[in-house]
Chain A
């Protein structure tokens, strides 16, 4: 494992509920090294999703500091924050969240298109990644024509194809049967480690948690090792 690529210091987040505010995350500290897989577990409402959103730079904390790939996050405007995500953060969602009108190939190609990569290089990388996740023969299929496991493989390829510093995965095995879930866990584990991406996974699935380097339990907005 290498040095930390994701660092969060004393990060807090609260939400307005009625007239008051509820603390979703209380002074959370988190450091994840390159190639490290960290599982976030805990009951519903414990703050997993909030922490995951903050790791993925799609939400803003009330206080605290974050850095991704050495870049301080707080103080960045919307455009620079989006660019930071574009270059350094990959997402794997529980419901895959593939674009239904795009083929598997196009879904994986999309992040590279955003990066302005040349067509030939894009094609080479997408074919490579579809092969790595084992669905090269389904490249021209739309998501509707793929099984749940195949869709999640496409989602993993989409998240990793740009070699991001950080991968954020929200319950990636929740919608999969146990055999497929095991495959997906192994795949995510192997590929992320292979290209030294820091992976943060929110999960209820013990099989997923067991395969991670560290398991952090969240309770009432606090991280408990």
Chain B
């Protein structure tokens, strides 16, 4: 305890220098925590977005993901209703949504355009998608409407000059290889925030789509869980129960999420490395000067009977204290910025390929704070150890004659 007290007195010996080192450390720590918190927020948002889009676990025909179907639903799932009922009973499962992926032409009588569509169970589908799809006009289609209803992507609706209530025709190749058509009513116009998707998106009731394709199969069954953490366990269970089918998790299918995560991990990894270098330099400079100025004192304490290792320990304590206080200040600043951003509604510009921005928010991660604090204290202590080790081994008469 006494040694910690002496170390603290030495921290206060040159207050301006110690304060500078603490401030540098605080700025580095705050930058890492805010950057890291932003990355965590981005990961979480993308994770949620992907999971809402694909479902946490996707069950499909064994060859579905190979993408080599000759006709629609060639590798579709048969008996989807029974499968869906069985999956819905699994513990932790919130919903199981059947989907039929299809494509074709959409026409308003005057002109036609290519669409990429999805047949869904409308009520749970739009409920679970939540903010991933925003309705610009109209609303979600009903499953039991007298005239089949669809939702169009915003850009496709503009191209088709469609509004809610507009009648259009969908043309697609059936499972038998023939062309089939169905008249639909535009019920809603929505955007997913990705112009490339909004330009071709059609979402309709699954029964209508199956009638168009002349099949009762579905492309996939998307399993939504109450807790994302349970994804791997449920996927493992489904793989064991359905060895003849393809089971993929949201992470397997989230190419964009994986790419962003890899990019951000690298960016913030480099930021962390820069912070470590800054702390090392700040500590090495502060304690290096302290060691040099205290050379004669080191000689005196050595003469009195202090071991070099004990002197090094004192410098390490000083370094750790400066690092801890600097890190503490940086943590407070980062926490303050986190709270301020939560209330300030600052928007980030749309990322490449997207039409909508997103809020600039920073996640508060206690684990990240603890890790950064530990790293900074460790690095500061190591820097102090490095700069003091040599000085404390200088011959005592030489140290005592230091001016």
A residues within 8 Å of B by Cβ? 49, 53, 56, 58-59, 78-79, 82-83, 85-87, 89, 91, 93, 97, 99-102, 106, 110-111, 113-114, 158
Contact = CB atoms under 8 A, between A and B. Distances in A.
A99 B297 contact: yes
A42 to B, nearest CB: 18
Given A58-B396, A59-B395, A93-B300, A101 B305 contact: no
B2 A113 contact: yes
Interface of B: 2, 6, 9-10, 12-13, 296-297, 300-308, 310, 395-397, 400
B296 A89 contact: no
Given A101-B13, A102-B6, A114 B297 contact: no
Given A53-B397, A59-B395, A97 B305 contact: no
B305 A111 contact: yes
A82 B307 CA distance: 6
Given A59-B395, A97-B297, A99-B297, A91 B9 contact: no
Contacts, number: 60
Contacts of B9: 101-102
Contacts of A100: 13, 297
A56 B305 CA distance: 11
A53 B9 CA distance: 30
Contact of A85 (B303, B308, B395, B400): B303
A158 B304 CA distance: 9
Contacts of B12: 101
Contacts of B395: 59
26 contacts: A53-B396, A58-B303, A58-B396, A59-B395, A59-B396, A59-B397, A78-B308, A79-B307, A82-B302, A82-B305, A82-B307, A83-B305, A85-B303, A85-B305, A86-B304, A86-B306, A97-B297, A97-B300, A97-B400, A99-B301, A100-B13, A100-B297, A106-B6, A110-B301, A110-B304, A111-B304
A104 to B, nearest CB: 14
